[in-house]
Amino acid sequence: MRNFEKPGRSVAIGRNGMAATSHPMATLAALEILKAGGAAIDAAVGACAVQCVVEAGSTGVGGDCFALLSTNGGADVVAFNGSGRTPAAADLSWYQSQGIRTIERFSPHAVTVPGAVDAWTRLVADHGRMPMEDVLSQAISFAREGYGITSRVAADISHQEELLKRDPSCRRIFLVDGKAPDVGAVQYQPELAGTLEAIGREGRDAFYRGGIAEEMVSHLAAHGGLHTTDDFATAGGEYVKPISASYRGWDVHECPPNGQGIIALLILKILERFAPAGDPLDPENLIVEVEATRLAYAARDRWVADASTSETPVDFLMSDALADELAAKIDRKAPVDAKAILGGVEHSDTVYISVVDKDRNAASFINSIFHPYGSGLMAPKSGVLFHNRGQSFTLEEGHPNAIAPRKRPMHTIIPGMVTKGGRTMMSFGVMGGHYQAMGHAQFLSKLIDYGLDIQSAIDLPRLFPLPGTATVEMEESLRQSAGDYFTARGFKVQPPNWAIGGAQAIWIDWEHGTLHGASDHRKDGCALGY
């Protein structure tokens, strides 16, 4: 039971439908779609489109998407990979011949062909009940008529001022006299409104063929990009078989590689080999979570890549033998040797949306432009802000995640789903770039090992070990309670650049016939049900 003398949020409760997003306008949009008879996926896509407008630093039509869906509360989970591929000309030898050693953020080479719009239209057509025009209508209205800037959005813009100044369209839309706008200021995106209207009328081809695609290709080419109209015309996501693992009797489902969901499962498999004790924030427990993460991320950086073009050893990464081997390396007295783990990261922006409708169809939906405001490149006539997901590639020859023609990069964004006894129990996700795999494992451990409700588990302070280092980022209250413990064992403890991640979840209470929703205080959003 929540302590009502302390600040916090209550779990949202509904009977007929529930939506949880990181922006209040998106949550409200999802509920309105549900009330109008839309299915969970209609509401998820409609909410995401709203966030592409009002929380443009976190997501956009110029980004990528992954989804997990279940039908009528059953345990058969469907996965869709809506991540985009590199241009056909993106051969590693070309980058080497140009003297390019790393892919820079403000670069067309960081832009793979966006996969989100294809994913939206496919999923709504296959699993929805509403026309795409109706699904996108609220986002179009906000883009054309204006929307107020919320606190987290204002903070994100202020952190990205220098990036946004570089691009004339970004500067015009997101900044005021070259500065971040105040909380409550009103922004407009009329060009994006036109693009969304075209998608609503004409479907995916409005984005991937014709004038909008030609303008995007032309803009990227003007910056030195290798993209062609054929790269856009042939783009397309795919349904894939989800991967799953049992954690203390609960079945956890993730999308397969090129996403890092397999690493969330690996962390859980390592944690399952330790008996939790005491408080969920006890340093003895936290250090096991940190070391399990450091070991699992070492495996990620070595092996996880686009399984359609590179060999990713899924069976090995999911094996009990690997989990046993890695668990045996954990020593609470000192950090595991991290020499083989690749370099540091930052927490990147994404939106995660969870929706369950009256028929208990569940949508676990995630859409991202990677770092806040992505590449900072915007096509001026269409208003499409491009992601920078191509930065996840390596230019190391022979590496599974090396850039190559029409290849998808290793992806950090991962939706999650939990089933048990033939039923969907929870749709959930955690935002925050590279943190997400650890975030999934931490969140589930707090629920399953310590019996917390979904809101209380989300509210707990977070920590994250920067891959490749013995540095652990900790939010303030954890630095006070556990910082000395980690420092004494050889870790460097530091504050994060900003609050770590964000999360949403919906729990299906089959006993009472209700839905429980939760949303993270680290973002502007909320969970609402009816």
Give Cα separations from 354 to 44, 59, 130, 513 (angstroms): 7, 15, 18, 18
Q: How far apart are CA 472 and CA 338, in angstroms?
A: 13
Q: Which residues of 415-442 are buried (b: 16+ CB within 10 A; e: fewer)?
A: bbbbbeeeebbbbbbbbbbbbbbbbbbb
Distance in angstroms (rounded) separating the CA atoms of residues 491 and 478: 14
Pairing of strands 415-420, 77-82: unpaired
Radius of gyration, CA atoms only, the chain:
22
- Token pair of 460, please? 């707990």
Please report, as a single letter, which amino acid is at residue 395: L
Tell me the pairing of strands 384-385 and 147-148: unpaired
How many other C-beta atoms lie within 10 A of the C-beta of residue 518? 27
The values of phi and psi at residue 106, to 5°, are -85, 65
Bridge-partner residues for 417, per DSSP? 253, 427
Q: What single string gives the DSSP state of each residue in 161-190? A: HHHHHTSHHHHHHH-BTTBPPPTT-EE--H
Which residue is listed with tokens 């081809």?
205
**102 is annotated as an active-site residue:** no
Annotated active-site residue in 350, 394, 412, 419: 350
* 3-state secondary structure string across 107-164: CHHHCCCCCHHHHHHHHHHHHCCCCHHHHCHHHHHHHHHCEECCHHHHHHHHHCHHHH
Report the distance separating Cα 73 and Cα 292, nearest Å. Answer: 32
Q: Would you state the structure tokens that stand for residue 17, as one six-digit string?
A: 């439908």
Strand, coil or helix: 473: strand
The catalytic residues are 350
